[in-house]
């Protein structure tokens, strides 16, 4: 099997991939074409069927496993597949495990590192709250498998864990640098800040918004999950609970970015910066993943950065 990350411009391929997205469209001249996102465990690849009515283009739907024959080209600095023939793959021709995008890091090792951070929490109420979730085997399995987003960043198996660990590590460093920050509160908020995504997004291979995700969003869902559990912990201080929930509600930093509240605590400010930093760095990683080594061409406008981006030159 040729994994997407190994493909190079100029190659003709005959491989099976998962059709992550399918979007019929028309060119400026009014000619129909189909835009696809093909996926395997190493990443995604933009693909086009420029002549969807031609012989050899069979019917298929989104989330089908497809055998594609096509040419690997380059468009605006990124690889693209021009499909010549396509058909639905038959059971036995593929292993579904090969087609789920996965974190480049081992999920068991990441979870162990996250638990090390959690065990350093000293406040007994916050320690119990975190262990009630992260010490639960069923929760651990779901958290390790889930993504952190549909498309923007960390949209792969282990993505939620990778992002959470990254944010928690940044928050630990912030707490060490700035005495104004309450480490236990900040770290607890970090490990829980995206917990609502377990219910906002469905499991792979769909990895799409649930009804609750569409109606409420992960911020509100996460706040509800924590509030429900906090009520079951005897004598959990109300002020501490309010401060923790505020950090969750404000972690996107701005109202226009989906936060119901703007940060009003030092810990909420720090969390919003850590969340944004880790998300932006991963977005760059993902933007560069299919760029050939040594290519420092400008890649075009990237909406996350509102800027034309490229890789740093290596001298």
Least confident of 30-34, 152-156, 243-247, 266-270: 152-156
Q: Is residue 39 pLDDT above 70, yes or no?
A: yes
pLDDT per residue over 84-121, tens digit each? 999 999 989 998 778 887 888 999 999 999 999 999 99
Question: Across residues 220-225, what is the average pLDDT?
Answer: 96
Q: What is the dihedral of CA 298, 299, 300, 303, to 10 degrees?
A: -130
Q: What is the mean pLDDT of the chain?
A: 91
CA distances from 28 to 31, 32, 74, 238 (A): 7, 10, 20, 59
Q: Is residue 307 pLDDT above 70, yes or no?
A: yes
pLDDT at residue 305 in the model? 81
pLDDT per residue over 24-37, tens digit each? 999 999 999 999 99
Question: Across residues 238-253, what is the average pLDDT?
Answer: 96
State both tokens at 230: 């906090």
State both tokens at 33: 């074409």
Q: Is residue 44 pLDDT above 70, yes or no?
A: yes
Q: How confident is the model at residue 147 (pLDDT cuts 50, 70, 90)?
A: confident
Q: Which fold has domain 4-97?
A: OB fold (Dihydrolipoamide Acetyltransferase, E2P) (2.40.50)
Q: Is residue 162 pLDDT above 90, yes or no?
A: yes
Give the residue from 101, 103, 86, 100 showing the smallest Cα distance to 16: 86
pLDDT at residue 299 in the model? 81
Percent of the chain with pLDDT over 90: 68
Least confident of 70-74, 163-167, 280-284, 295-299: 295-299
Q: What is the dihedral of CA 141, 147, 148, 150, to 10 degrees?
A: -150
Domain boundaries, given as residue ranges, for the chain: 4-97, 100-289
Query: CA-CA distance, 194 to 136, in Å (whole number)?
Result: 17
pLDDT at residue 290 in the model? 63
Question: Across residues 275-302, what is the average pLDDT?
Answer: 82
State both tokens at 21: 């997205």
Query: CA-CA distance, 81 to 168, in Å (whole number)?
Result: 38
Backbone angles phi, psi at 34, to 5 degrees: -125, 130
Query: Would the CA dihedral through 214, 219, 220, 221 be positive or negative?
Result: positive
pLDDT at residue 98 in the model? 87
Q: Is residue 315 pLDDT above 50, yes or no?
A: no
Question: Across residues 232-243, what is the average pLDDT?
Answer: 98
Percent of the chain with pLDDT over 70: 98
């Amino acid at each position: 099997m040729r994994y997407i990350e190994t493909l190079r411009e100029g190659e003709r391929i005959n491989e099976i991939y998962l059709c992550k997205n399918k979007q019929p469209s028309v060119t400026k001249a009014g000619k129909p074409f189909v835009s696809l996102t093909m996926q395997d465990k190493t990443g995604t690849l933009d693909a086009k069927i420029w002549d969807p009515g031609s012989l050899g283009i069979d019917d298929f739907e989104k989330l089908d496993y497809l055998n594609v024959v096509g040419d690997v080209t380059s468009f605006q600095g990124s690889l693209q597949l021009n499909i010549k023939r396509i058909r639905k793959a038959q059971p036995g021709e593929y292993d579904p495990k090969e087609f789920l995008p996965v974190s480049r890091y081992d999920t068991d090792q990441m979870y162990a590192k996250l638990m090390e951070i959690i065990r350093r929490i000293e406040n007994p109420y916050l320690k119990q709250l975190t262990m009630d979730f992260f010490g639960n085997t069923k929760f651990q399995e779901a958290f390790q498998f889930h993504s952190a987003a549909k498309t923007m960043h960390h949209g792969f198996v282990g993505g939620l864990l990778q992002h959470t660990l990254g944010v928690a590590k940044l928050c630990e460093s912030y707490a060490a640098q700035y005495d104004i920050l309450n480490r236990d509160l900040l770290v607890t908020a970090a490990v829980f800040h995206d917990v609502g995504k377990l219910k906002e997004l469905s499991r792979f291979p769909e990895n799409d918004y649930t009804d609750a995700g569409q109606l409420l969003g992960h911020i509100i869902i996460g706040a509800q999950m924590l509030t429900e559990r906090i009520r079951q912990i005897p004598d959990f201080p109300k002020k501490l609970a309010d401060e923790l929930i505020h950090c969750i509600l404000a972690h996107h930093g701005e109202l226009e970015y989906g936060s119901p509240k703007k940060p009003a605590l030092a810990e909420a400010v720090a969390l919003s910066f850590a969340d944004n930093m880790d998300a932006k760095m991963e977005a760059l990683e993902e933007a560069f993943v299919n760029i050939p080594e040594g290519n420092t061409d400008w890649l075009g406008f990237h909406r996350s950065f509102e800027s034309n981006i490229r890789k740093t030159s290596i001298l």
